[in-house]
């Protein structure tokens, strides 16, 4: 069994997706768009492991368009043009849906090439990014896309995915796993809103147990001990924390200041903290 558990459990329908009620709840605009089948150009923005790729795949499976997948870390201008040439084939007669992961890694020339083909509607773009698209995506592409922000998933929602993962692991590996009380809650609350991290923790615990040893609360804490730390030195989270730290100092809120200082120190960013002191 070489398929990661997170991939084996990837939802196939919107109702199976955990989290994102502000986007996928009944009556929400994105859900209504998906159910209508009339998909505009979309950009999904948010941290890793919150369902961007999963929702994009669900959309792709529900359309009658030819699906092409590219990743911004590896694709070239030639790859983009190869996708666009498929418009003139029999398979592409109903249009092409291009799912482009990590769009922020495309350079400006590649994004301009992309723009040329999404303007006439023959190619529908669904892009995802972990970086703020308003800084990393070419403005002309942004003006032709609707941006939806995905948020970290709440622990009670992740708990559903964790329970399902243990059940699926038992079926896949034909092994009954014994869990100490609190194991599922510990994983759900310590993964920092990242469903994939939670499922990877379940997979690691099941592999370590082998069915011969109970899965303990201590073991669950070991595999997820640093997962809750969400900090990117060059991204939005870095500046959000620094801004909050500075405002806490100015407002004489010692508890908040200590909280944000601890987050900076835990991330190893002593220099930024010292500059603001």
CA 53 to each of CA 11, 13, 17, 34, 44: distance values in angstroms, whole numbers, following the listed order? 10, 13, 11, 14, 9
Identify whether the C-beta of residue 162 lies closer than 8 Å to the C-beta of residue 18. no
| Residue 15 domain flag | no
Which domain-ending residue is among 108, 134, 149? 149
| Residue 9 domain flag | no
Same domain, 24 and 135: yes
| Residue 128 domain flag | yes
| Residue 231: per-residue pLDDT | 59
CA distance 69 to 60: 10
Same domain, 127 and 184: no
Same domain, 241 and 213: no
Same domain, 201 and 240: no
Same domain, 211 and 159: yes
Same domain, 218 and 251: no
pLDDT tens track, the chain, 277 positions: 567 888 888 888 999 999 999 999 999 999 999 998 888 999 999 988 899 989 988 888 887 778 888 999 998 888 888 888 887 777 667 778 889 999 989 988 888 888 878 887 778 899 999 888 888 888 889 999 999 999 999 999 999 999 999 988 888 878 888 888 999 999 999 888 899 999 999 999 988 887 677 898 898 888 876 655 555 666 667 778 888 888 888 888 888 888 888 888 877 778 888 888 7
Same domain, 37 and 125: yes
Same domain, 120 and 70: yes
Same domain, 28 and 145: yes
Global pTM reads 0.78
Q: How many domains does the chain have?
A: 3
CATH of the domain at 187: 1.10.8.60
Summarised one tens digit per residue, pLDDT across range 199-220 is 999 999 988 887 677 898 898 8
| Residue 13 domain flag | no
In which domain, by residue range, is 94 found?
20-149
Which domain-ending residue is among 111, 128, 149? 149
Q: DSSP labels for the chain?
A: --S-HHHHT--SSGGG--S-HHHHSTT-HHHHHHHHT----EEEE--TTSSHHHHHHHHHHHSSSEEEEEETTT--HHHHHHHHHGGGSSTTTT-EEEEEE-GGGS-HHHHHHHHHHHTTSSEEEEEEESS-HHHHS-HHHHTTSEEEE--PPPHHHHHHHHHHHHHHHHHHHT-PPPB-TTHHHHHHHHSTT-HHHHHHHHHHHHHHHTTTS-B-HHHHHHHTTTTT----TTSHHHHHHHHHHHHHHHTT-HHHHHHHHHHHHHTT-HHHHHHH-
| Residue 4 domain flag | no
| Residue 229: per-residue pLDDT | 55
CATH of the domain at 133: 3.40.50.300
| Residue 231 domain flag | no
Same domain, 44 and 76: yes
Same domain, 120 and 159: no
| Residue 6 domain flag | no
Q: Name beta bridge partners: 99.
A: 69, 126
Which domain-ending residue is among 149, 166, 192? 149
Same domain, 127 and 196: no
């Amino acid at each position: 069994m070489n398929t990661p558990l997170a991939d084996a459990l990837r939802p196939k329908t919107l109702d199976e997706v955990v989290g994102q009620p502000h986007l996928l709840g009944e009556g929400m605009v994105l859900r209504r768009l998906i159910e209508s089948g009339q998909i505009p150009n979309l950009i999904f923005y948010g941290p890793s492991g919150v369902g961007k790729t999963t929702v994009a795949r669900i959309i792709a499976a529900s359309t009658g368009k030819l699906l092409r997948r590219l990743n911004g870390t590896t694709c070239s201008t030639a790859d983009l043009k190869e996708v666009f040439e498929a418009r003139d084939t029999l398979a592409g007669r109903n249009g092409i849906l291009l799912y482009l992961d990590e769009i922020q890694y495309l350079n400006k020339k590649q994004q301009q090439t992309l723009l040329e083909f999404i303007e006439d509607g023959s190619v529908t773009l669904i892009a995802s990014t972990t970086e703020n698209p308003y800084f990393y995506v070419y403005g002309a592409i942004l003006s032709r896309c609707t941006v939806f922000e995905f948020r970290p998933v709440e622990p009670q929602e992740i708990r559903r995915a964790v329970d399902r993962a243990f059940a699926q692991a038992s079926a896949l590996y034909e092994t009954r796993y014994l869990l100490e009380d609190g194991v599922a809650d510990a994983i759900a609350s310590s993964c920092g809103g990242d469903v994939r991290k939670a499922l990877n923790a379940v997979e690691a615990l099941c592999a370590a147990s082998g069915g011969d040893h109970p899965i303990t609360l201590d073991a669950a804490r070991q595999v997820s001990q640093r997962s809750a730390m969400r900090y990117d030195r060059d991204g939005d989270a870095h500046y959000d924390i620094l801004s909050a730290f500075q405002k806490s100092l100015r407002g004489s809120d010692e508890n908040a200041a200590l909280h944000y200082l601890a987050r900076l120190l835990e991330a190893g960013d002593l220099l930024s903290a010292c500059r603001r002191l």
